[in-house]
Structure 1
Amino acid sequence: MSTTTRPLLSAAGLHVAFPGRRGAAVARAVDGVDLDIRPGEIVALVGESGCGKTTLARSLLGLVPPTSGQVTFGGAPLDYGSRSLKAYRKRVQLVLQDPSGSLNPRHTVYDAVAEGLRIHGYAGDEREAVAGALSRAGLRPPERFFLRYPHELSGGQRQRVVIAGALVLEPELIVADEPVASLDASVRGEILALLLSLRDELGLSALVVTHDLGLAWNIADRVAVMYLGRIVESGPAEQVLTAPQHPYTRALLSVLPESGEVPVVLTGEPPDPSRVPGGCRFHARCQVLASGEAERTGVAADCRTTLLPVLTGGDEAQVACHWAAALRGDRPEKVGLGKEWPGKEGTATGSRTPR
C-alpha cells in the first residue's frame, strides 16, 4: 500500500466521551485516536472487549458524533447533518456481527437486500441490482434466494445476505464489526475469503473490528491494536504480527495456537474507560512491568507516571511503550512513538503464512 495515496477515511485527534450516571466519572471510550484507511486497504482494529474499538467504528460511521477531533472522508470533513449523513452512509456501509439479529425474520432475502436501495431512492433496475449484490456476495444463482427467509438459510448464507445488503449500494468502504465471530469455524474462512475477493475485484476498503488477531493475520493489510481508548501499536500486518513490540500485543498473540508461545494471562482489572490511569494506560496489567523487566530496563517509573502521545495514523510501524523504546537504545523515535517523536518505522523479522 503506497504511503503517498491519500486516505479514503481518516480520524484525527478523535475523542468520544459518555457522561456517567448520577455524577459518576465520564467514560472516555475513545481517548485520542488518529487512524487512516486508504483505498483498497483492509485495516484490522484489534482489542479485547471494552477497549473502545466498537465506539471508534461507530464514530467513523457517523453514528456517534465525536466529543472532539475530526473524521474526514475523501478529504472532506464529515458533516453530521441528516442529509449529508445519508449520502455518506451510502458510501460507507456497516456489516454487523450477528446476521440473525441484522435480518428481519419477516423479510425475504430480496427485501433485505433491496432495503438500502429503497431508502436511498435508487432509480435503476432494483431486481438487477439485488441479483448483482447477491452474486458478488457468493449466493448464486441469486434468483434462487430471492424468496427465502432468514430461518431457511445457514449462518454463512445469512452473513452473505448481510454483506450483499451493504454491497448493493456500491460503497467505497465497509466497516465489519466482528464479521465472523458468530459463525462456525468451517464457514469463517469462506467469509474472510469473500472480503479479500471484494477488495481485489472491487477495490473495496474495509475496517474489520475484531478481538481476534488470528483473523487479522489472515485478512488485514494493516493492524491497529487498541487498549483503553487508544491505539497502542499499529503498522503493516506482517510486521506487527511477527515482531510485536507492545506487551499488550504480545499477550494477545500468545494465545493463538500457531504462535508457539506460552499464553500470557493478564492480571488486574479489565479496562475501565472512566478510570484511565496515569502513565502508560496498560501499566496496571503489564506483564513486563510485573516481571521486573521494566525495572531492569530502567523505565518502570516512566511506565507508571509518564504519559505517551497519540500515535499518528500513518502506515509506518508505531508503538506507544516506554519499554519498547528502551529496547531500541533509549531512542523512542526508532519505534515511532507518536507525533512528538517522529521517526522511521521499526524493523521486523520472520514471515507469516501467505493469506
Structure 2
Amino acid sequence: MSTQEPASTAPATDGALLTADGLHIAFPGRRGGPTARAVDGVDLDIKGGEIVALVGESGCGKTTLARSLLGLVPPTSGKVTFGGKPLDYSGRALKAYRKRVQLVLQDPSGSLNPRHTVYDAVAEGLRIHGYAGDEREAVAGALSRAGLRPPERFFLRYPHELSGGQRQRVVIAGALVLEPELIVADEPVASLDASVRGEILALLLRLRDELGLSALVVTHDLGLAWNIADRVAVMYLGRIVETGTVEEVLTSPQHPYTQALLSVLPEAPGAPVVLTGEPPDPSRIPGGCRFHARCQVLASGEAERAGVADRCRGEDLAVLSGAGETQVACHWARAR
C-alpha cells in the first residue's frame, strides 16, 4: 500500500446517486442442487462525484453485485435506485439507464473488436443510442478527455497498433462519449504494466474532478483502493463486512478479513495473515458470522477471551447500511 496521502480530495455531494437497497441475487443450483446466494443482502450508496472501491477475494460476489448495479443481472429481491428512481428493467428504460451508467472492463483487448478502428469503437455507443449531434466532434472530445491527443491521430488505428494503456484509454473514451454520470470499472488496471497503472488511475481521478463523474471501482487490490477511492466497501461471501472512508478502513481495519487482506501488502507491518481454505460455497453459507470458519481471531482464541466466540459461530450479523459512516459486521470488533 502506498505511503502517500489517499487520493480523495473532492467531497462528495449530498444525496446518493446510486443505491442498492436490500439486494439479494441467487442462482439456481446445478441439477436441482441448493441455490447459490451470490449477493446475500447488500445496502450500498454511491454519491455524486464519489469514487467507491468494492474490494474482496475472487468469488466473493463483487462482480455479480456490480453487474446488478448496471442492470445486467436483475436482483432476486431488493432494488437498485438511480437518481431517486427505482431501476426499470424494461428494454427501453434499461437502454436509457445504460447511457447514464457505463461499464469499463478489465481487459481492453477483450473489450475492443480487433476489426474496428478506434473511431468506430468509440462511436459505437453513440450509434446505439441514436446520437443526433456531430459524431466526429463527440468522438474526438471523448478521446481527448481520455488522454489520447491529438485524437484524430488515433481515429484510423486498430487495437493491435496500440499499447495496453492506450487500449484502456480507448475503452474509457467509449464510456465517456455518452457523458455518463457514473462508471463501473471492473479491475480497470489489473491487466496493465505497473508503469501504466498510475496513469490510468490519475485519469480516473481527473475525470472525477473535472466532470463530477462518480465511479464504482471493483478490485482485489487494496493498494489501488488507497490511491483512488473516497470510500471502501469490503465484501466477503455475498455481503459487505466493513465499510467507511479509505483512511479509516485501510489505516485502522476492524474486521479480521480486512486485516488479513491488508497484511499481505509489502508495506504492511508484522507477518502476513494466511487464511486457511477457500471462501465457502455460496450455496452453503455457514451460520453465524460467515467468515468464522477462516477467522484468525477465532482460531487464536482472541474471540473466546473477548466472550464472543459462541456468537461468532452461531449468531448472524445484520446487513450494514449503505450510508457513508464506518461500519463493521464482526462480533469481536464490536466487543472491543
| TM-score clears 0.5 | yes
Q: Report matched runs for 1:73-84 at 5 Å.
A: 73-84=82-93
Amino acid paired to 1:181? A
Distance 2:37 2:61 in 1: 9
The match for 2:145 among 136, 141, 163 is 136
Question: 2:71 maps to which residue?
Answer: 62
259-268 or 18-27, larger mean C-alpha shift: 259-268
In the alignment, what sits opposite 2:7? none
- Secondary structure in structure 2 of the residue aligned to 1:64: coil
Query: Is contact 1:222-1:234 (8 Å) kept?
Result: yes
Higher relative contact order (CA 8 A, sep 6+): 2
Aligned 8 A contact 1:16 1:67 in 2: yes
Q: Distance in 1 between matches of 2:67 and 2:144?
A: 28
Equivalences for residues 1-355 of structure 1 within 5 A = 5-327=14-336
C-alpha displacement of 1:261: 3.0
The separation in 1 between residues aligned to 2:303 and 2:21, in whole angstroms, is 31
Which sections of structure 2, spanning at least 5 residues, go unmatched? 1-9
Shift of 1:270: 2.3
Instruction: State the distance in 2 between where 1:73 and 1:62 align.
Output: 11
- Counterpart CA distance in 1 for 2:303 and 2:114 is 54
* TM-score w.r.t. length of structure 2: 0.96
Shift of 1:262: 1.2
**CA positional deviation for 1:309:** 0.2
- How many residue pairs get matched? 327
Deviations 1:63-85 (A, max 9, x none): 00000000000000000000000
What TM-score do the two structures reach when normalised by structure 1? 0.91
Q: Determine the C-alpha separation between the residues in 2 that align with 1:138 and 1:176.
A: 17
**Which amino acid in structure 1 is aligned with residue 59 of structure 2?**
G
Q: Is the Cα contact below 8 Å between 2:20 and 2:81 reproduced in 1?
A: yes
Code of the aligned partner of 2:288: G
Instruction: Report the alpha carbon displacement of residue 3 of structure 1 after superposing the two structures with TM.
Output: 7.9
User: SS in structure 2 opposite 1:316?
Assistant: coil
CA RMSD of aligned residues (A): 1.0
Task: State the SS of the aligned residue for 1:9.
Answer: strand
Unmatched tracts of structure 1, length 5 or more: 328-355
Measure, in 1, the Cα distance between the counterparts of 2:307 and 2:152.
66
Superimposed CA distance per residue, residues 193-239 of structure 1 (whole angstroms, 9 cap, x where no aligned partner): 00000000000000000001110000000000000000000001100
Equivalent pair of 1:16/1:29 in contact (CA under 8 Å): yes
Contact 1:234 1:318 in 2 (8 A): yes
Could you tell me how far apart the structure 1 residues matched to 2:25 and 2:14 are? 28
SS of corresponding position for 1:10: strand
Q: SS in structure 2 opposite 1:143?
A: helix
Task: Tell me, yes or no, if the aligned pair for 1:241 and 1:253 is still in contact at 8 Å.
Answer: yes
Q: Is residue 12–residue 50 contact of structure 2 (8 Å, CA) maintained in 1?
A: no
Matched with 1:334 is none
2:99 maps to a residue whose letter is: K
CA distance in 1, matches of 2:23, 2:198: 33
Cα separation, 1, equivalents of 2:313 and 2:17: 37
After TM superposition, the runs of 4+ consecutive aligned structure 1 residues lying more than 2 A away are: 1-4, 268-271
**How far apart are residue 21 of structure 1 and its match?**
1.0
Deviation at 1:4, TM superposition (A): 7.5
User: 1:2: Cα distance to partner?
Assistant: 6.3
Superposition deviation, residue 258 in structure 1: 1.5
CA contact (8 A) 1:134 1:164 kept: yes
**1:260 deviation in Å?**
2.4
- Distance (Å, rounded) in 1 between the aligned partners of 2:269 and 2:213: 34
Partner secondary structure for residue 8 of structure 1:
strand
